[in-house]
Structure 1
Amino acid sequence: MTIFFSKTTKGFYLEGTASFASCPKDACEITKSSYLALLQKQEQGKIIQPDEYGYPVAVVAVVPVPKLELTLDQVRTAKQREIAAAHDAFLKVQSKEYSEMERQTWDSQRTEASALLVDPQADAPLVRAIANARGMDVVEMARRIQENTQAWSVLAGGATGQRLKYQDALEAYATVEEIEAINPVFNFPEAE
């Protein structure tokens, strides 16, 4: 007995049976031992599928996993985290030339620089140490720190304003689709 498998119907056709008359033209011949092995695997829960050449193979049945339906609050919370992460990532990229330890001194640098610009004799050990290490005049160093502080304030303020705009939209939207459509992309603030 000759056995055929059709990739179109995913069915077997045995020569000499009534069903053989409807055997599609794409059917390929398989051995009896292959046929019996495939039936045994099918009994074990596998399904018979055609491979890329149209020959039958037994594969593990893939059970589709239903998509989890999140509540509006869950979607809102996830989007809020996404917005905050995008905001932080944008600012982190802009400050990448500075180490974390140096960023921790920014408040002190700003305070000391402001004091030095009012009184060049003001107590400012951090700014004086930075200026000395760079071989720079302490007042010039204070001026540069103030310029950097102002530039950073504009950048951080612009990014924070954008984050709050996304947050406002998030709070205003009432459907999952609207919330999922929010794409938090941060840009440099426009010059005034």
Structure 2
Amino acid sequence: MPYAAEGRISREPIEGGLEVTEEQYAQGLAGMLKGQVVSIQGGFSVAPVPAPAPEPDPTPDQQLARRLITNNIEYERATLAVTAGYPQLEKDTWPTQDKESKAWLADPDNALTPWIDRAALTRGIDRVEYLRRTLAKAQQFEMVSSYLTGTRQKYEDQIKAGADPVLDYTIPGNLYAEMQAQALLIMTTNAAELQELL
């Protein structure tokens, strides 16, 4: 004897199910193959899957929270893109590189830079060039991170004031030009003058 329960049919007894006729079993099987659902509420029936109830419109507080979350997600995406080409182990060395390059800038003749010394030797480039490159990248990162952070905060202010701004975290061309000019300055200016500039 066949049986049916909510969303199921079987040739074996189903706990909480009902006995059904062979014809009902066949209807249930055919309906399930078409994506329909078997129900025993109010008697055996086979019907299309009910459409989900429409979600209520979000409240103003929910809209505000969603916009703030979306803004933060877009900011995270933009900041991750800045460092996406670097493996995590190398990123973990950035504080050391920054510390050593700034020590060299403060005292070019006496600064101890063991991490950069080894990396430069292994890479096959001059130590001072490596230090300058490190300074240039750190300056560029500060420029782009301050731009992105300011952009996030600007959008947050607008959202909290009731606006729904179009979020755009694209780095503008003039900032790229400024970053390149800063790198050129660091690579070509003597250490004493760099102390005054940075």
TM over 0.5: yes
Aligned length: 137
2:71 alignment partner AA:
I
1:92 alignment partner AA:
L
The one of 61, 74, 82 aligned to 1:73: 61
Root mean square deviation of aligned Cα:
2.6
1:43-192 correspondence to structure 2 within 5 Å:
44-46=44-46, 59-117=47-105, 118-173=107-162, 178-179=163-164, 182-191=165-174
Contact 1:127 1:142 in 2 (8 A): yes
1:50 aligns to what? Answer: none
Contact 1:155 1:189 in 2 (8 A): no
Q: Distance in 1 between matches of 2:126 and 2:49?
A: 75
Unaligned runs of 5+ in 2: 1-26, 28-37, 179-198
SS at structure 1 position matched to 2:69: helix
**By how many angstroms is 1:45 displaced?**
4.7
Contact 1:154 1:189 in 2 (8 A): no
**By how many angstroms is 1:101 displaced?**
2.0
% identical equivalent positions: 25
**By how many angstroms is 1:166 displaced?**
0.8
Q: Distance in 2 between matches of 1:156 and 1:69?
A: 36
Q: Distance in 2 between matches of 1:111 and 1:88?
A: 25
1:89 alignment partner AA:
R
Over 4 Å off, 4+ runs: 43-46
Q: Distance in 2 between matches of 1:139 and 1:82?
A: 43
| 1:15-68 deviations in Å (ceiling 9; x for gaps) | xxxxxxxxxxxxxxxxxxxxxx7xxx9x8555xxxxxxxxxxxx5153341223
Q: Relative to 1, partners in 2 of residues 1:61 and 1:145: Cα closer, same or farther, differing over 3 Å?
A: closer
Unaligned runs of 5+ in 1: 1-36, 47-58
1:99 alignment partner AA:
P
Contact 1:159 1:189 in 2 (8 A): no
2:66 alignment partner AA:
A
Specify which structure has the higher proportion of helix: 2
Bigger Rg, structure 1 or 2: 1
| 1:138-181 deviations in Å (ceiling 9; x for gaps) | 111110001111111111111111111111111111xxxx44xx
SS at structure 1 position matched to 2:67: helix
1:171 alignment partner AA:
K
SS at structure 2 position matched to 1:68: coil
Q: Distance in 1 between matches of 2:90 and 2:60?
A: 41
2:131 alignment partner AA:
A
